Chain A
Amino acid sequence: MQILIVDDDPLAGELVAALLEEQGHDCRLAENGIEALERLAADDGIELVISDLNMPLVSGLDLLAELRESGQTLPFVLLTGDDPADILAQTPGLTAALMKDAALEAVLPVLVAKMAGAARP
């Protein structure tokens, strides 16, 4: 599965990439929302976007809104430092929201594996 990872902290982004590449996924990195949009425009093989929530200029939610407005229906997973329950409840179009903590390492690969399974019935 081709995945675009968006995080303004390159270290955090690369950690997520390391985690998913371990599962055999193909990961690209973007450091902000603008770069993410450019990447998505340039590469239509991307099947999933995993984005940090809090980023300067364009937040993860802004990015999601931008994508949905332009008719993009790619699954979109939000990563956040806070409890994601509220955001998940209030944001239609969000596939999942996960908290950045020690459990992320266990949860994210399972989630992505499920999505990859769903993508190829």
Chain B
Amino acid sequence: MASASSETFKARKARLRAAFLDQLPQRLREARVHLTRLPDQAALVALELAFHTIKGSSGSFALTTITELAREADDVLKGALAAGAPITAGPLAALTAVFERFDALDLGAADRADPGERYGFESEPPPGPVPGQMTGQFAGPAHDHASRRREQRVYLCDDDSDLAQELCAQLACFGYCVTALTTLDALRAAVIAHPPAAVIMDVMFPEGEHAGPATIAALALATGHAIPSMYISGRDDFQARLQAVKAGGSAYCTKPVKTTELVEFLDALTHREAPIPFHVLVVDDEPAVAQLHAMILEEAGMITAVATDPAEVLSLLKGFNADLVLMDIHMPACSGPELARVLRQMSGYLSLPIIYLSSETDRGRQFEALEVGADGFLTKPVEPARLVTEVSLRAERMRTLHSLMVRDGLTGLFNHNTIMQLLELAVANARRDGQPMCFAMIDVDRFKRVNDTYGHPAGDQVLMALSRGLRLRLRESDVVGRYGGEEFAVVLPGVDEVQARDILDQLRRSFAAVHFYAGNATFNCTFSAGVAAFPRWSCADSLIEAADQALYAAKRGGRDRVEIAATLDPAVDFNRDCPAEDQDGH
């Protein structure tokens, strides 16, 4: 395989594959045109051929994700052709869904050198992280979380210009940059000039009582793209709601509109985080077999590490953040079940899913192997599709369970225990890298009064709004948690206390501008915050205590403000409880 001549084919194949990926958006656009001509029989035939060709070619290029999607469409279309009758709503919906999933692959993005590697279409593992290729959780530089939201184009169309302006201002508090448009003509022009990530649309306009949804439906037809939309309306009748649904609206809010609700839907409409690939550790004493299984999983978009000696497993797991371990049963020196038992006796790996992959077919011995706390058994040789399914199902469930364990139910933020662990980690990192970091405590002002006056649902609304604001407006690298009650904690790596104060102060101002609704009443809320900086305070405990004191000072100073712990009485030694080694750093 490694001969010089095979390189030529590889290079040619890579070029052809790139060209195929390059052309795919255009092919899909053409297919979309056929889609709009359905139930025309000729269009059906053309559509089937288009997907069949994509399926075949992508198959040859080993672009599995694309092949599977095209196969789905092709199967639906073959069924429709075989039925010999005009295509019905069910298959049509299935086709639209396939188009959407193609869209979600983001094939059109021109600035990416190789979309194949990004999504793990390629069967050969990518050589390593490509600069600039990651978005979402792994994105390196700061600010992307908030700026991504700012880059999302959102239109709000309502003939009541005061309301439109007001809502735009509210949404800006959540990091959304929304353009207000007051006529349908203005909206049409804007959508055609710059397709939006979402449209917030009134239902009734001077042009007609359902002119809003009608305009969106017409625009979708004209542009050939579904327009992500949600509706706001003073009407709550079935007809208005039905028209909105028919126009593809994904949400319907009645006026007065709750901003938090609007944000919730906008998040869903515009927020497409690149999923974090599953991390799988493959343990097999036979290197070729281990590599084969790793390759199958990588082809499905997962990230793998390979151990051919069970003794390597612990050190590999340390840096790898595995979602699952796939292991052989029969290995010299340490068998699979023995390795599983070793892992189960370490608290960090108690819940790590373990799947055996072995040629062991004896039911009894399979059962014995499972008894030590493994989660499943696959027999070699395993079909690639089966392996991928088994692994992703278990890894996915593990992730869900894990997020339930570490996240707060109401706000979706990290819970108290988790944020404390993350703070410890951030302090350790800051000390190692010689970087500053800050810890902040935030407390909603007079929260009890909100609950007492407007009821607990209104109070919950405030907490959700604040947590969302924190999550969206802080940087990706910042960690936000619910410390308890109406108290929140933020870990800000890499910034000094002045920068941290400025960041929080900006948050404070936008939070104070958010209107909350409870019945017919409108109210605003504020928060106070205290900031403590490392290395001035040199361990997690002292940071917490100092930030808490600063928060107290902010409350005493009249609330609705951010205080830095540095300006407090230096006589108080918060570092007294820190381990001695922690104080070497400054």
Q: Which of B57-65, B393-401, B507-515 contacts A (4 or more CB under 8 A)?
A: B57-65
Q: With A11-B16, A11-B19, A102-B64 in contact, is A54–B59 under 8 Å at CB? A: no
Q: Is the CB of B60 within 8 A of A54?
A: no
Q: Mark A2-22, 1 if CB is under 8 A from B, else 0.
A: 000000110110111011001
Cα distance A55–B56 when bound, in Å?
11
Q: Is the CB of B56 within 8 A of A81?
A: yes
Cα distance A15–B21 when bound, in Å?
14
Q: Which of A18, A19, A56, A100 contacts B57 (CB 8 A)?
A: A100
Q: Is the CB of B57 within 8 A of A79?
A: no
The answer to the question of B52 belonging to the interface, with a C-beta cut-off of 8 Å to chain A, is yes
The answer to the question of B202 belonging to the interface, with a C-beta cut-off of 8 Å to chain A, is no
The answer to the question of A95 belonging to the interface, with a C-beta cut-off of 8 Å to chain B, is no
Q: With A15-B60, A54-B49 in contact, is A81–B23 under 8 Å at CB? A: no
Q: Is the CB of B57 within 8 A of A12?
A: yes
Q: Which of B1-9, B147-155, B461-469, B525-533 contacts A (4 or more CB under 8 A)?
A: B1-9
Q: Is the CB of B9 within 8 A of A80?
A: no
The answer to the question of B335 belonging to the interface, with a C-beta cut-off of 8 Å to chain A, is no
Please indicate the chain B residues that have their CB under 8 angstroms from the CB of A12 in the complex: 20, 53, 56-57, 60
Please indicate the chain A residues that have their CB under 8 angstroms from the CB of B323 in the complex: none
Cα distance A80–B52 when bound, in Å?
9
The answer to the question of B74 belonging to the interface, with a C-beta cut-off of 8 Å to chain A, is yes
Please indicate the chain B residues that have their CB under 8 angstroms from the CB of A37 in the complex: none
Q: Which of B5, B19, B53, B62 contacts A8 (CB 8 A)?
A: B53
Q: Is the CB of A101 within 8 A of B59?
A: yes
Q: Which of B9, B52, B62, B64 contacts A19 (CB 8 A)?
A: B9
Nearest residue, chain A, Cβ from B20:
A11
Q: Is the CB of A22 within 8 A of B9?
A: yes
Looking at the assembled complex, report how far the CB atom of B132 sits from the nearest CB atom of chain A, in whole angstroms. Answer: 27
Cα distance A1–B446 when bound, in Å?
85
Cα distance A18–B17 when bound, in Å?
12
Please indicate the chain B residues that have their CB under 8 angstroms from the CB of A104 in the complex: 59-60
Please classify the interface of chain B as helix (H, G, I), strand (E, B), loop, or mixed, using the class held by over half of its residues. Answer: helix
Cα distance A79–B123 when bound, in Å?
20
Q: Is the CB of B53 within 8 A of A9?
A: yes
> Which A89-104 residues sit within 8 Å CB-CB of chain B?
99-102, 104
> Which A1-57 residues sit within 8 Å CB-CB of chain B?
8-9, 11-12, 14-16, 18-19, 22, 52, 54-56
Please indicate the chain B residues that have their CB under 8 angstroms from the CB of A54 in the complex: 49, 52-53, 56
Q: Which of B59, B123, B299 contacts A100 (CB 8 A)?
A: B59
Please indicate the chain A residues that have their CB under 8 angstroms from the CB of B473 in the complex: none
Please indicate the chain A residues that have their CB under 8 angstroms from the CB of B74 in the complex: 81
Q: Mark B207-242, 1 if CB is under 8 A from A, else 0.
A: 000000000000000000000000000000000000
Please indicate the chain B residues that have their CB under 8 angstroms from the CB of A15 in the complex: 12-13, 16-17, 57, 60-61
The answer to the question of B575 belonging to the interface, with a C-beta cut-off of 8 Å to chain A, is no
Please indicate the chain B residues that have their CB under 8 angstroms from the CB of A102 in the complex: 59, 62, 64, 123, 299
Please indicate the chain B residues that have their CB under 8 angstroms from the CB of A100 in the complex: 55-57, 59-60
Q: Which of A9, A18, A56, A101 contacts B12 (CB 8 A)?
A: A18
The answer to the question of B71 belonging to the interface, with a C-beta cut-off of 8 Å to chain A, is yes
> Which B39-57 residues sit within 8 Å CB-CB of chain A?
49, 52-53, 55-57
- Beyond the given A14-B12, A79-B60, A100-B59, could you list 11 further A-B residue pairs with CB under 8 A, ordered by the A residue number? A12-B20, A14-B16, A15-B13, A18-B12, A54-B52, A54-B56, A80-B56, A81-B55, A81-B59, A101-B62, A104-B59
14 example contacts (A-B, Cβ-Cβ < 8 A) are as follows A8-B53, A11-B20, A14-B12, A15-B16, A18-B13, A52-B56, A81-B67, A81-B74, A100-B57, A100-B60, A101-B62, A104-B59, A104-B60, A105-B62
List residues of B whose CB falls within 8 A of some A CB.
5-6, 8-9, 12-13, 16-17, 19-20, 23, 49, 52-53, 55-57, 59-62, 64, 67, 70-71, 74, 123, 299
List residues of A whose CB falls within 8 A of some B CB.
8-9, 11-12, 14-16, 18-19, 22, 52, 54-56, 79-81, 99-102, 104-105
